[in-house]
Amino acid sequence: MATPGAFNDPSYHIDDLKEPKLELAYEEGHDADIPSNLGLYKPSNADLEKGTGSHPSTASGEDTVVAEVDTEAQHPTDEQDPNVVWWDGPDDPQNPMNWSMARKWGNIAALSGITFITPLASSMFAPGIPLVMSSFHETSNTLATFVVSVYLLGFAFGPLVIAPLSELYGRLRLYNICNVLFIVFTIACAESSNFNMLVGFRLLQGVVGSSPLTLGGGTIADLMPPEKRGGALAIWAMGPLVGPVAGPVVGGYLVQAKGWRWVFYLIAILSGFFSLITFIFMRETYAPVILGRKAARLRKETGNQDLRSKLDSGIPPKEFWRRSIIRPTKMLLFSPIVFFMSLFTSISYGILYLLFTTITFVFEEHYHFSSGTVGLTYIGTGVGMIIALGFLGTLSDRVIKKQQAKGAPLKPEHRLPMFLTVPGGVCMPIGLFMYGWSADKHAHWIVPIIGTAFVGVGLLTCMMTIQTYLVDAFTLHAASAMAANTVLRSIFGGLLPLAGLSMYDKLGLGWGNSLLGFIGIAIIPVPIIFKIYGERIRTSPRFQLKL
């Protein structure tokens, strides 16, 4: 059953597979010691004894190999084992890498559609908050912001369930189930008869809506070789960036014309359209699941119960759950790098969603914007993010190329250049001061919007540099490090906005946003400290974790 593959070539050294397998595992959305399209990449015994979760060979420039490719899944001995099930040759049409480009891009187009809709739903509802409060006769400022931000709490905990389930049952099944549930919960939001019902269904909407963000990168990694993956990932990643900004722009006019319930009806209609496309055109892409089903079919046809997939690690379901839930929590609590970097991004993310949930009230009350035009005020943040993305795409690569030209070993700390992290950290408090005091003094409406653009620049700059730093610092367990970051970030994004309107009532827009600006100033040193002392902390035995 086994057929020679690229990584079965005896001339391949283990180091030839090391980095591609780590990269693939992370892009698939899991740690490297969980099966990928190329098999396993597990810590060596020496690594486990040292208790490190990082990859010193890339983290500190040392030439130490701390992980090894699973020999059972990778070495040519499987070729002589008739019980190992593999692809039927290098051109096997069942292998997603061999699909036609039309079929691949069809899957990616459907995926990009649903990846745009779920982030869109996070903020599209924001301009309708005053009407919701009026409809349900609620006056609490806390509840006014919570009904928007509770969606992010679903984004915090949904991936912890969806990711391990996809490893067991495949990506397509999770997409379809979550798409259907998303439509159901969205319609339930539109039909809510009381405020508590709306909040509850918003939370469930966020849980299942996290599916395309959790699994999308993995689907693209299943389909595209590395040299063609960048463009597909860029298209897919536009959804999470554009959706939260475009949502209020459309939602503002829709609320004005049809009322707040039609925001949910429109989301349900769009989600239904893309869900139908997903159901018709998308196919399973996760190789371990495809080969597992093939092995099961062959066992039934041949009666040979010893047949097994070459990518079957034998990891029991309980172990998948443990790694998906316990490991990120452990890293968040006991790794100073993960904790403080996650805290930095979480505070920034919470401030962003505090603005998202209160900006409607600010511009309607202070500038007398209508429900339609108030949605346009979110464009400033989006423009700032796009500007930051352009700078990051060019300047961050220069740092890496400069180090390579010197022949110096690359370190994760190179992902935290001072000329990006310092201006990025400063931009957010500058934007908050500008936004708060200009609105407080009733300056022209363009001034506070420019302030939100500065916030967008600062947020995206810091988040992107920190995320790439975490990936490089915890290469083997990069997905768990990012999961820890996502959970804490989404919790802050869901809870910090609850204080927004009450804070503005007590302190005013000027001092309220100044308080947020001072918090922003207080966290500026975090990436600077890890730029200087990060390597010492990573390599210190005191902070090594047994993962």
Residue 300 lies in a domain: no
Say yes or no: 257 and 191 in one domain: yes
What digits encode the pLDDT tens for the residues 414-459? 888 888 889 989 999 999 999 999 999 999 999 999 999 999 999 8
d(CA 354, CA 493): 8
Do 43 and 106 fall within a single domain? no
Taking 70 as the threshold, does the pLDDT of residue 74 lie above it?
no
Secondary structure class of 192 (helix, strand, coil): coil
Min mean pLDDT across 121-135, 323-337, 409-423, 424-438 is at 409-423
How confident is the model over 480-508, as pLDDT tens digits?
888 898 899 999 988 999 888 899 999 99
Predicted model pTM: 0.82
Q: What is the 3-state secondary structure (H, E, C) of 23-78?
A: HHHHHCCCCCCCCECCECEEECHHHHHHCCCCCHHHHCCCCCCCEEECHHHHCHHH
Instruction: Classify residue 90: in a domain, yes or no.
Output: no
Distance between alpha carbon 234 and the CA centroid of its chain, in Å?
13
Residue 107 pLDDT level (bands cut at 50, 70, 90): very high
Of the candidates 131, 153, 154, 156, the one whose C-alpha atom is nearest the C-alpha of residue 144 is 131
**43 pLDDT tier (thresholds 50, 70, 90):** low
- Specify the pLDDT at position 508: 93
Do 191 and 122 fall within a single domain?
Answer: yes
**Which CATH number does the domain housing residue 425 bear?**
1.20.1250.20
pLDDT at 542 over 60: yes
Give the model's pLDDT for residue 72.
41
Q: Which of 252, 285, 318 delimits the end of a domain?
A: 285
- DSSP type of residue 102: H
* Residue 121 sits in the same domain as residue 73: no
Domain boundary among the residues 56, 82, 108 is at 82
On whether both 414 and 366 belong to a single domain, the answer is yes
Compute the distance between CA of residue 1 and CA of residue 6 in angstroms, rounded to an integer.
16
- Is residue 320 one of the residues assigned to a domain? no
Q: 277 and 332: one domain?
A: no
The predicted pLDDT at position 18 comes to: 65
Is 89 a member of any domain?
no
CA–CA distance, 502 with 542 (Å, rounded to integer)? 42
Kindly state the DSSP code that residue 410 receives in the 8-state scheme: P
Query: Which residues lie below 8 Å from residue 325, measured CB to CB, with a gap of 6+?
Result: 160, 164
What is d(CA 449, CA 545) in angstroms, rounded to the nearest whole number?
A: 44
3 CB-contact burial (10 Å; exposed 0-12 / middle 13-18 / buried 19+): middle
What percentage of the chain carries pLDDT values higher than 90? 39
Q: Give per-residue pLDDT as tens, 268-313.
A: 999 999 999 999 999 999 999 999 999 999 999 888 888 888 888 7
CA distances from 260 to 137, 139, 267 (A): 15, 17, 12
- Give the three-class secondary structure for 167: helix
* Full domain range(s) for residue 63: 6-82
Same-domain pairing of 347 and 480: yes
Mean pLDDT taken over the chain: 84
Helix intervals (H) in 124-209? 129-135, 141-169, 171-190, 195-209
Same domain flag for 114 and 36? no
Per-residue pLDDT tens over the stretch 180-238: 999 999 999 999 999 999 999 999 999 999 999 889 988 998 998 877 877 787 788 77
**513 burial class (0-12, 13-18, 19+ CB within 10 angstroms)?**
buried
Using alpha carbons, select from 395, 403, 450 the residue that is nearest to residue 420.
395
Amino acid letter for position 44: S
Contact 170, 119 (CB under 8 A): no
Q: State which of 251, 285, 319 marks the end of a domain.
A: 285
Q: What pLDDT, in 10s, does the model give residues 133-173?
A: 999 998 888 888 899 889 989 988 899 889 888 888 889 99
Task: Please state the domain count of the chain.
Answer: 3
Residue 239 lies in a domain: yes
Same domain, 111 and 236: yes
Torsion of CA 409, 413, 414, 419, to 10 degrees: -150
User: CA–CA separation, 229 vs 231, rounded Å?
Assistant: 6
* Residue 28 CA to its chain's centroid (Å): 12
- Is 237 within a domain? yes
The SS3 of residue 118 is helix
Asked if 423 and 461 touch (Cβ cutoff 8 Å), the reply is yes
Residues 260, 191 share a domain: yes
**pLDDT(368) > 50:** yes
Q: Whole-angstrom Cα distance, residue 411 to residue 475?
A: 12
Is residue 295 domain-resident? no
Indicate whether 92 belongs to any domain. no
Q: What angle, 0 to 180 degrees and rounded to 10, lies between the N-to-C axes of helices 379-406 and 418-440? A: 170
Same domain membership, residue 177 and residue 106:
yes
Q: Are residues 26 and 147 located together in one domain of the fold?
A: no
Q: Is 119 helix (H, G, I), strand (E, B) or coil?
A: helix
Span 13-40, average pLDDT? 73
